[in-house]
Amino acid sequence: MTRVAVLDDYQRRAHAYADWSDLGPSVQVEFHHSPIPADELIPVLSRYDVLVLMRERTALPRGILEHLPKLRLVVTTGMRNLALDVAYLHERGVVVSGTTGVAAAGGVPVTVEVAWALILALLKRVTVEDRALREGTWQLGLPRTLAGATLGLAGLGRLGAAMVPVADLFGMSVIAWSENLSPQRAGEVGAQRVDKPELLARSDVLSIHLLLSERTRGLFGAGELALMKPTAVLINTSRGPIVDEDALIGALETGAIAGAGLDVFDQEPLPPDHPLLGAPNTVLLPHLGYVDEPTFRAWYRQAVEDIAAFLQGEPIRQLTS
């Protein structure tokens, strides 16, 4: 019997979104709907031959993986997982496969939709006015206009570039920065390349679209936030640790910036007593930037394909790093 664990199926969709019975009667699939506490990972996961991961919801460093002797295959949704020690698994001879998802049929990527939802919720005071209205107050404050404002983009890759046409429709000017961004690349997508201090000083909306790495971890700390306008808002749909969380909370509490829209956090799920939940002028979402039905259906269907191919001795969609 081959035992398969599908982890972090928060919304209980994995079972219905793929035909796991295709794997045959000799494969037993178990679905874990809640996060497994860190101190229980080894005793729980050591029972399985195959793990199916939903993105980076559960971190599996070497210190965990080396205590999973039965493990033969790890499938991660997406083709990259920074929370998984792929190099160590390769050393052990464990196969790591990924999923490619489904190409969007026009429009903008889901993460960009979420970024704009956060921007509009903050500047148009959607959550604040909704709450006030339900409590009996009509028109608590003044919404802000996007036309004429400056959108600053930290990162101008696929997602950052997809922010630009939407900003144009709203009549915003767009500036951008990243370490390797050239003026030519910025111009090609309709943005102006600036240096980092200018990005911070000029942005009315600063939206982060960078990959998390040792270089970008803590990239926006207290010193950077102090350069922003007190009327500016920060949007993060990338990864939580790119922004120093304590510094951000301090900036919100002191009014150094006007607000923050966050879809990502240092710790996910966010603990119920986390200080961000009480921070002023925030709109918080539970990492919805990659969550939609077509993507989930494609990922879980391809996870079944990955497992079947592995069991037949012909692994597919293997990760090299």
Q: Catalytic site residues?
A: 239, 268, 287
Cis peptide bond prior to 269, omega within 30° of 0: yes
Strands annotated E in the chain: 2-6, 27-31, 50-53, 73-76, 95-98, 150-154, 173-177, 192-193, 205-208, 233-236, 259-262, 282-284
CA within 13 Å, CB half, 62: 5
What does the DSSP assignment read for 62-105?
Answer: HHHHTT-TT--EEEESSS--TTB-HHHHHHHT-EEEE-------
Q: Are 253 and 278 in contact (CB under 8 A)?
A: no
Taking the alpha carbons at both ends of the chain, their separation in whole angstroms is: 29
Torsion of CA 52, 58, 63, 66, to 10 degrees: -10
CA angle 140, 142, 145 (to 5 degrees): 150
Q: Pull the structure tokens for residue 218.
A: 């803590």
CA angle 200, 147, 285 (to 5 degrees): 65
Query: Cβ atoms within 10 A of the Cβ of 6, count?
Result: 23
- Residue 32 and residue 269: Cα distance in Å, rounded? 15
Q: Pull the structure tokens for residue 114.
A: 């979420």
Q: Are 308 and 277 in contact (CB under 8 A)?
A: no
